Amino acid sequence: MNQQQASSNQHTTSTSIQQSTLSSLSHTISSSSSFRYTTLSSSSTNVTKTSSVLFITQRLVDMTIEQGKLLKLLVKSSQSSNEVIWYKNDGFNNTYNETKKLNNNNKYYLITQNKIHILIISNVTVDDAGEYICRIENDLTHARIQVIGADLNIIPQLPPSSINISTLYDVKGFEDEFKFIESLPDRIHLYENEQLILLCEINRKPKKVQWFKDDLNMSLERNNSFIIYDIDEISILIINNVIETCSGRYTCYIEDSIKTVFNVEIEDTILPFIDQSLTWM
C-alpha cells in the first residue's frame, strides 16, 4: 500500500468515527432528559443538508451578559417543528455536571412559533451562567453564556469554546423596505387560562415596534398582564392565563410603516356536563 492510499484510508476511518460520535450524541439527547454532554467542534464533520430534512439555519453564539439583564437565545430551523428541547449545563472550571432539560416556568420562557425558537430569561443571575443547548429533532446547537457582575469580572469562568462562528452582515439589507418574513394566522382561538403568544418577524431590526389591542397602545401600558419582548428583528407579545376580555384585534406596527393584525378569540373553559338526575351506585 502506497502512502497516498494509506492517507486516504486513514481520513475515511476518521470521518466515520466522527460521524458515529455525532450520531451517538444525538441519540443520547433524544432518549433522556439528563445526559452527559461532550462538545464537538463544528468543523469535525460536514453534513449534507437536503430540503426534506430539518436542520438549524441560525445557531446559538457564545456571549457575555451583565447580571440583571434580559438573556435571549434565538434559534431558527429550515422547517417548522414542535420537537424542540432546551437544556442547560452548569459547567465550570473545565468540568461538566449533568445536563438538565429546561421547562416553561417563572424562570424560563420557551417560545416556538413556525421556524423560530427562543429561550428568554428576564433577569439574569450568576446561576444562569453555563452552556445552553437547543435540540430540534435530529439537529442541535449550543453556546456558553458568561455573566458579568457589578465589578465587571466574569463569574464564573467557563471553559473556552470550541465553536468558531462568524456573522456576515449584508450592508444592502439595511436599505431594504420593511417586510414581514412570514404571514402568520390572522385568527387565533384559545380557551381561558391558556397562553397567548403573538410574534412578528421582519427582514431587519426596526427602531420602533408598537403593539395595539383594538385602540389601546399596549406598548405605552405598564402592567403585569402582558409582556413584550423586542429581540432584534423579532417582536413578541405574551399574555399568560388569558381570559375572555383578552379577545380582540391585536396589531403590530413597524415604525408606522407596515402592520400585521391578529384577531384573537378567547372562550370559557368547557367543563364536562354531569347529569345530576343519575343515581350513582
Q: Which residues contact 34 (CB under 8 A, 6 or more apart)?
A: 98, 99, 100, 101
Whether a cis peptide bond, with omega within 30° of 0, leads into 156 is yes
pLDDT of residue 106: 78
Q: What is the pLDDT of residues 204-254, one digit of tens each?
A: 889 899 999 998 999 888 778 898 988 888 899 999 889 999 999 999 999
Q: If pLDDT is split at 50, 70 and 90, which confidence band does 197 have?
A: confident
pLDDT of residue 231: 84
pLDDT of residue 213: 94
> Domains along the chain?
14-40+52-148 (2.60.40.10), 172-267 (2.60.40.10)
- Burial of residue 186 (CB within 10 Å: 0-12, 13-18, 19+) is exposed
Q: What is the pLDDT of residues 263-279, one digit of tens each?
A: 999 998 766 556 566 55
Instruction: Give the C-alpha separation, 146 to 66, whole Å.
Output: 9
Mean pLDDT (whole number) for 148-176: 50
Cut 0.75: pTM above it: no
The answer to whether the beta carbons of residues 199 and 247 sit under 8 Å apart is no
* Chain-centroid distance, C-alpha 79: 14
Other C-beta atoms closer than 10 Å to the C-beta of 47 total 9
Q: What is the pLDDT of residues 56-110, one digit of tens each?
A: 999 999 999 999 888 989 999 999 998 999 999 976 544 445 689 999 887 898 9
